[in-house]
Amino acid sequence: MTRRGTGPDFVEALARGLDVLACFDERSPLMSLTEVAAATGLARPTARRLLLTLEELGYVRAEAGGFRLTPRVLRLGMAYVSSQGLWEIARPHLEDLVRKTGESSSMSQLDGSDIVYVARVSVPKIIALRVQIGTRFPALRTSQGKVLLAALGPGELAATLAEPSRSGLPPASGRGGGRDRTWEADRAEIEAELRGVRARGWALADEELAPGVRSVAVPVRDGDGVVRAAMNVTVHAAETSVERLTEEYLPKLLHTAGEVSAEWAMWRSRPQVELS
């Protein structure tokens, strides 16, 4: 359903348009007018006008059977990434880390109870889940998410965990990493897990997101030492043990994250020059 704002300056038409864009996902890349109307809670005529407006602006295109997003929507997300300077700063460091490890590496930030990928350098390996910039996963089921959640205060953590995931993934089930992957429903165990992450400065996710997916992550900080992002190395569990991941790859990851943090802090503290 379309969310209603309470402020006097809230523009409902804009909110509805964003809801239309947000209803497309990996499971529904092509949607009919009826499906868009149902997903957003809008009347068909309203949904039609919004879709045609977005088509004219280049954000969606009409196809036989419905509408589909165009690559132009990437500008919306990349505008945020570019404004933070993350991608430009992180890319050469991620590429160097990938050369040293032979494994994929990514950076994510927290959005509600999900992580969203803002940078990634991958290697061609068969992995259970496809990941690209803009992909979101439930934070509690990922190493990067645990790092980011561990950096929150108690009140902020509770509010974040109360938000439903928008990743589209089904709830965790089965076993992963030698433990029940439904552990995230246990608040006491969540808090114990995050205390451990804070104490050691890194997090492990051992097949909690999907079978065969194992990763380790560390924080990326700004000039004030505040955790602003997380960086990981992802491996296939059948190829790389936890011991090798934490003993061989983790030190390289910590070094890389430190370099990115230092450069990002310098970038954010640069003098702002206004041209008149």
Which is more confidently placed, 65 or 231?
231
Q: What is the mean pLDDT of the chain?
A: 86
Phi, psi torsion values for 142, nearest 5 degrees = -130, 155
**pLDDT score of 253 more than 90:** yes
Q: Is-contact 113 139, C-beta < 8 A?
A: yes
Query: How many whole angstroms from its chain centre is CA 253?
Result: 19
Amino acid code (one letter) for 264? W
Q: Which helix (H) or strand (E) holds 147?
A: helix 143-150
Residue 47 is predicted with a pLDDT of 95
Residue 26 is predicted with a pLDDT of 79
Which tokens go with 60?
């969606």
Among 82-91, 134-143, 250-259, the minimum mean pLDDT is found in 82-91
Q: What is the pLDDT of residues 72-115, one digit of tens each?
A: 887 777 666 655 667 788 889 999 999 999 999 999 999 889 99
Residue 268 is predicted with a pLDDT of 66
Which tokens go with 195?
């205390």
Amino acid code (one letter) for 41? G
Owner of token pair 């090798």: 244
**Average pLDDT in the 123-139 region?**
81
Cβ burial, residue 111 (10 Å; 0-12/13-18/19+): middle
Q: What is the pLDDT of residues 32-48, one digit of tens each?
A: 999 999 999 999 999 99
Residue 275 is predicted with a pLDDT of 47
Q: What is the pLDDT of residues 193-247, one digit of tens each?
A: 999 999 999 999 999 998 999 999 999 998 888 898 999 999 999 999 999 999 9
Closest CA to 139 of 230, 252, 256, 254: 230
Which is more confidently placed, 167 or 50?
50
Which tokens go with 236?
């296939």
Coil, helix or strand at residue 254:
helix
